[in-house]
């Protein structure tokens, strides 16, 4: 039985981790860390956990926790883990970090986009980017896992096959993405109040969103050259979901069948990536509550461009579900264990 601790257990991603791990046959949750609710019963915060999770919330004593568990999930703000983690802690247990602290290998890029000093850059070299569909073998052998962001997971998986195979010019790539409000976290913010969000849609972080360099870095690895792209996120009035619509120039005339064969090459055997039937557009409602990513595309012979589309649940495959998928790989378990979540509807 894997013993797990969760720091940030009362945020949306942390709460989803608890929900998933509570039904995982090979995991026992030993520590629910939350500075905001110390000594309060977990089910008093999330009433859906009544008579399911009876433990109290504790502080984030990493040094004490590391000696008690096999893996620590940190669903914490940027900078938290980087300021606390060291070789001594890593020698005791494995870490799966849901923040951006170890996703970007170039520390100067991280510091430029996140406007903070990275406190443990010496650990970046040994971290593994936790996109299972791309880095499965590296994930199996790591002790420091950088769980990807929700926008980035959807954007990368949607565009990666065509970038990798050289079928599109990645520097013409424009990614339009939309997220439900849970992506902004559980903290009280005026911009996320019901009256601010309801009956509204808005772009934000235009040309400055911090997931941009993460997407660029991973797609640069895919094509072997630096990629610069436009990424524009939008906030929409729904609880969950990411919808990505990406546009790029094709490098040559290419048929639907050829592009479909490329997507099938990368994803036909993937348990959580579903390439949809021709002309079916991904929708967030068909992945909600699950670890699935739905992907499809359309080609435009008139402009010689391709439109790539993807949808996922931002706090499952975009956060907690992907973290559990990574944990399964790190501990030699079936990748789908605890994640056989059929999408909810309605």
pLDDT digits (tens, 9 = 90+) for 141-160: 999 999 999 999 999 999 99
Q: Is residue 133 part of a domain?
A: no
Q: Is residue 249 part of a domain?
A: yes
Query: What is the C-alpha separation between 268 and 101, in angstroms, rounded?
Result: 32
Q: Is residue 335 part of a domain?
A: no
Q: How many CB atoms lie within 10 A of CB 47?
A: 7
157 and 292, same domain (yes or no): yes
178 and 309, same domain (yes or no): yes
157 and 122, same domain (yes or no): no
The residues annotated with a catalytic role in the active site are: 150
Q: Which of 56, 231, 249 is nearest to 152 (CA)?
A: 231
Q: Is residue 132 part of a domain?
A: no
Q: Cα dist. 114→111, 120, 208, 212 in Å?
A: 5, 15, 10, 11
Residues of the chain with pLDDT under 50: none
12 and 47, same domain (yes or no): yes
Q: Is residue 146 part of a domain?
A: no
- CATH number for the domain spanning 295: value is 3.30.360.10
User: Is residue 321 exposed (0-12), middle (13-18) or buried (19+ Cβ within 10 Å)?
Assistant: buried
96 and 165, same domain (yes or no): no
Q: Is residue 345 part of a domain?
A: no
Predicted pLDDT at 56: 97
Could you list the residue range(s) of the whole structural domain that residue 210 is in? Answer: 151-314
Q: Is residue 328 part of a domain?
A: no
Predicted pLDDT at 81: 98
Q: What is the DSSP letter of 72?
A: E
24 and 90, same domain (yes or no): yes
Query: What is the C-alpha separation between 295 and 293, in angstroms, rounded?
Result: 6
Q: Domain count of the chain?
A: 2
H/E stretch holding 16 reads helix 12-21
Q: Is residue 12 part of a domain?
A: yes
pLDDT digits (tens, 9 = 90+) for 112-131: 999 999 999 999 999 999 99
């Amino acid at each position: 039985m894997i013993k797990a601790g969760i720091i940030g257990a009362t945020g949306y991603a942390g709460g989803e981790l608890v929900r998933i791990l509570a039904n995982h046959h090979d995991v026992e949750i030993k520590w629910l860390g939350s500075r905001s609710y110390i000594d309060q019963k977990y089910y008093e915060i999330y009433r859906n956990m009544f008579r399911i999770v009876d433990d109290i919330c504790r502080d984030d004593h990493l040094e004490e926790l590391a000696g008690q568990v096999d893996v620590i999930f940190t669903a914490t703000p940027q900078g938290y883990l980087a300021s606390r983690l060291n070789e001594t802690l890593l020698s005791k247990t494995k870490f799966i970090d849901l923040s951006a602290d170890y996703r970007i290998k170039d520390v100067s890029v991280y510091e430029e986009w996140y406007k903070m000093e990275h406190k443990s850059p010496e650990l970046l070299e040994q971290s593994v980017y936790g996109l299972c569909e791309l880095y499965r073998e590296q994930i199996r052998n790591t002790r420091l896992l950088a769980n990807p962001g929700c926008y980035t997971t959807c954007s990368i998986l949607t565009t990666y096959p065509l970038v990798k195979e050289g079928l599109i010019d990645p520097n013409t790539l424009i990614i339009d993405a939309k997220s439900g409000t849970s992506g902004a976290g559980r903290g009280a913010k005026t911009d996320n109040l019901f009256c601010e969000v309801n009956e509204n849609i808005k772009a934000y972080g235009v040309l400055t969103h911090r997931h941009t360099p993460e997407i660029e870095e991973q797609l640069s690895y895919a094509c072997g050259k630096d990629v610069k792209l436009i990424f524009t996120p939008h906030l929409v009035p729904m609880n969950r979901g990411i919808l990505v619509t990406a546009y790029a120039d094709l490098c040559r005339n290419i048929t639907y069948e050829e592009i479909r064969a490329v997507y099938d090459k990368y994803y036909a055997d993937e348990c959580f990536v579903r390439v949809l039937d021709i002309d079916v557009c991904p929708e967030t409602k068909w992945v909600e509550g699950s670890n699935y990513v739905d992907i499809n595309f359309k080609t435009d012979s008139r402009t010689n461009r391709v439109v790539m589309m993807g949808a996922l649940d931002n706090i499952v495959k975009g956060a907690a579900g992907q973290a559990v998928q990574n944990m399964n790989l790190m501990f030699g378990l079936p990748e789908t264990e605890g994640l056989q979540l059929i999408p909810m509807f309605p």
